Amino acid sequence: MGYSVAEVAELLGLSKNLVYRAIHSGNLRAVKLGGRLIVSHRALEEWLGYVGSEEQKGPRGRTW
């Protein structure tokens, strides 16, 4: 499953610009498909710090 930049921003309550910056800085992995950047579910979990832990703080200090 994958998410567009707009979907990631909406899910996390962030701006699209912040998501784009995370992708372009290499902090959030994404692939380009048909001219769109797509973030995999796994990449989003890794960015939020989910891998290896059930509860972590994501961007803005929210507990996920």
Task: Please report, for the chain, the start and end positions of each structural domain, with discontinuous segments joined by +.
Answer: 2-53
Q: What is the pLDDT of residues 4-63, one digit of tens each?
A: 999 999 999 999 999 999 999 999 999 999 999 999 999 999 999 865 555 545 555 555
The alpha carbon dihedral of 18, 46, 40, 12 has a sign of: negative
Tokens encoding 32? 């380009």
**Residue 1 banded pLDDT, cuts 50, 70, 90:** confident
Distance between CA atoms of residues 30 and 61, nearest Å: 23
Tokens of 4: 């567009």
